[in-house]
Amino acid sequence: MRLNREQVLTAALDLLDEVGLDQLTMRRLSTALGVQNGATYWHFRSKSALLEAMADELLAGVAAVPAGPWDVRVTDLARRLRRALLSRRDGARVYSAVFFPLPNALAYGDAMIGALLEAGLSPRDAAWTADTVTYHVVAHTIEHQLASAGEGPERLTAAVSPYPNLAAAIEFVPAPHPDEHFEHGLRLIVTGIRAETPTPAGPDR
Amino acid sequence: MRLNREQVLTAALDLLDEVGLDQLTMRRLSTALGVQNGATYWHFRSKSALLEAMADELLAGVAAVPAGPWDVRVTDLARRLRRALLSRRDGARVYSAVFFPLPNALAYGDAMIGALLEAGLSPRDAAWTADTVTYHVVAHTIEHQLASAGEGPERLTAAVSPYPNLAAAIEFVPAPHPDEHFEHGLRLIVTGIRAETPTPAGPDR
DNA sequence: ACCTGAACACCGTTCAAGT
DNA sequence: ACCTGAACACCGTTCAAGT
């Protein structure tokens, strides 16, 4: 049973889809590969090194957005990151479990900051604004992927009844429309960027 | 060694400060309390039930904001949630590890949606906008608390060198100014809300 | 009502030894 | 170079039995 690094990584992502992050275990992975327990450690130093590689594999290609106006590129990058995280079960949680950015995550950050620099932001504001966009993408996707796996809305509906404003909004809280929910926040942030940016040359719009 | 639920909860929060979330273990908690392993299970059904209680304890009082203009209340609520999460080591990760909202989290959500309804948003937009604000608070705080514990910036500086836009912004990426970083994103989002809201009565501002 | 003692079914990681 | 076999040092959870 000769393995290479790529086979281990592919099997790990398949196992993730099958059992989810909480059940993704070095031992289950070895079993799925038909090898003994310690065999995977020859290819990856540790479980967290494997998770880093999985996260970066998830993000392959997200930074490859076409040229265009800055706001289109920002929106496009955010959507592509979201799609990438949705491509595997618990993808967003895998991404957020990794502290250190690998090449595809760096390329995404670079492209996002690049678009914001072209919008006229300072390097500082571009870096911080990129973070706010990314927080929205990742946190929204984590919440959505957790909700898909979680319990029904009955418990929430009951818990919410003493809170008048929550009760008025309850049908949108578990977000039965994840795409619109995501787009709403993304549009909100891009509107904020535009409002804070000194309008560049051009008569209007 | 007679315990009650509150003593277990207090000890758990103290242990969290001492060792961090990853080392917070039912067994270490029992040892800290001077009891046997299974004793804590009489007071909390499971570790996740204990984490739920810890998360809600963290959020005590965050919803108690004074009356005032909607944007002041939104900003105030976001800052108070951040302060609450910062009050304990890994507080933001504890909060995000809990799927189901307990009373203090519900009260926070209710107050946030209430402020946004007064801004003139529909229930749907208020619920979704509240989420975007909260994503920023929680994700920013998780990142900040992880960075405080993590490695130095050397590895990041090296990794970033092939990426021109990241390199230009690198000094702000590990965020040596967490307060300004947080306020930047919060202001951005509130600006976005204001820009999307049909301006209410009043001549200007 | 609340705790002990002991077990069950797992984990990640390491490492000599094999091929 | 790559894997086996076996161990080490842990986990969360359960539960009869004690007081």
Is there a single domain that holds both residue B77 and residue B176?
yes
Q: Are residues A119 and A143 in the same domain?
A: yes
Q: For the residues B75-82, what does the mean pLDDT come to? A: 98
Give contacts of B138 with chain A, Cβ < 8 Å.
139
B175, pLDDT greater than 70: no
Tell me which of A66-75, A150-159, A188-197, B13-22 is least confident. A150-159
State the sign of the Cα–Cα–Cα–Cα dihedral A143, B112, B177, B192: positive
Residue A117 tokens, joined: 């620099």
- Residues B89 and B137 occupy one common structural domain: yes
A166–B99: do the CB atoms touch at under 8 Å? no
- For the stretch A2-33, pLDDT in tens is 899 999 999 999 999 999 999 999 999 999 99
Flag whether A151 is in a domain.
yes
pLDDT digits (tens, 9 = 90+) for B118-152: 999 999 999 999 999 999 999 999 999 998 877 76
Residue B135, pLDDT score = 98
User: What's the pLDDT score for residue A134?
Assistant: 98
Name the residues contacting strand D (CB < 7 Å). A 1-4, 35-39, 42-43; B 23-28, 37-38, 41, 45-48
- A16 inside domain: yes
Instruction: Read off the pLDDT of residues A37-59 as tens digits, 9 standing for 90 and up.
Output: 999 999 999 999 999 999 999 99
Cβ-based contacts under 8 A for chains A and B: 163
- Residues in A touching B166 (Cβ below 8 Å): 106, 109-110, 113
- The answer on A32 and A97 residing in a single domain is no
Tell whether B116 and B39 lie within a shared domain.
no
Q: Which nucleotides of C are covered by protein (CB under 7 A)?
A: 2-7, 10-16
Q: Residue B15 is part of a domain; what is its CATH number?
A: 1.10.10.60
Domain hosting residue A124, numbered range: 58-196
Residue A201, CA distances (Å) to A46, A70, A120, A205 in order? 52, 14, 11, 10
**Tell me, what's the pLDDT at A197?**
84
Other beta carbons less than 10 A from residue A158's beta carbon: 9
Cβ-defined contact of A128 to B181 (cutoff 8 Å): yes
Nucleotide showing the shortest C1' distance to residue B1 CA:
C3
Shortest Cα distance from B168 to chain A (angstroms)? Answer: 6
Measure, in angstroms, how far nucleotide D17 C1' is from residue B51 CA: 29
Is a pLDDT exceeding 80 seen at residue B59? Answer: yes
Length of chain A: 205
pLDDT bracket for residue B174 (50, 70, 90): low
The CATH code of the domain that includes B160 is 1.10.357.10
Same domain, B131 and B41: no
- Residue that wins the pLDDT comparison between B168 and B20: B20
Residues A94 and A19 in one domain: no
Question: Of A107, A109, A108, A59, which is closest to residue A83 (Cα–Cα)?
Answer: A59
Chain A residue numbers with beta carbons less than 8 Å from the beta carbon of B195 are 191-192, 194-195
Nucleotide nearest to B39 (CA to C1'): C3
Q: Does A146 sit within 8 Å of B113, measured CB to CB?
A: no
Which of A99, A123, A136 lies at the smallest CB-CB distance from B172?
A123
**Is the same domain home to A15 and A106?**
no
Report residue A198's pLDDT band, with 50, 70 and 90 as the boundaries. Answer: confident
Count of structural domains, chain A: 2
Name every chain A residue with its beta carbon within 8 A of the beta carbon of B110. Answer: 163-166
Q: Are residues B87 and B133 in the same domain?
A: yes
Q: How far apart are CA B110 and CA A106, in angstroms?
A: 37
Are A77 and A112 contacting, i.e. CB atoms less than 8 angstroms apart?
yes
Q: What nucleotide is nearest A41 when CA is compared to C1'?
A: C13
Kindly report the pTM of this predicted structure: 0.94
- Tens of pLDDT along A100-141? 889 999 999 999 999 999 999 999 999 999 999 999 999 999
Both B29 and B66 in a single domain? no
Calpha distance B9→A85 (Å, rounded): 35
Q: What percent of chain B has pLDDT over 90?
A: 82
Of A197 and B109, more confident:
B109
- Do A26 and A83 belong together in one domain? no
Give the nucleotide nearest to A36 (CA→C1'): D4
Confidence of residue B205 (pLDDT cuts 50, 70, 90): very low
Interface test with A, best of B172, B181, B190 (most A CBs within 10 A): B172
Rounded Cα distance, A44 and A11, in Å: 13
- Give the DSSP per-residue string, chain B: ----HHHHHHHHHHHHHHH-GGG--HHHHHHHHTS-GGGGGGTSSSHHHHHHHHHHHHTTTTT-PPS--HHHHHHHHHHHHHHHHHTSTTHHHHHHH--S--HHHHHHHHHHHHHHHHTT--HHHHHHHHHHHHHHHHHHHHHHHHHHHS--SHHHHHHHTT-HHHHHHGGGSS-S-HHHHHHHHHHHHHHHHHHHSPP-SSS--
Q: B89 φ, ψ to 5°? A: -55, 135
Q: What distance in Å separates the CA atoms of residue A13 and residue B77, rounded to the nearest whole number?
A: 39
Residue A84: count of CB within 10 angstroms of its CB: 23
- Whole-number Å distance between alpha carbons of B153 and B7: 39
pLDDT at A204: 47
Q: Percentage of chain A surpassing pLDDT 90? A: 82
C1' (D14) to CA (B53) span, angstroms: 22
Say whether both A64 and A123 belong to one domain. Answer: yes
- A180 with A166: CB under 8 angstroms? no
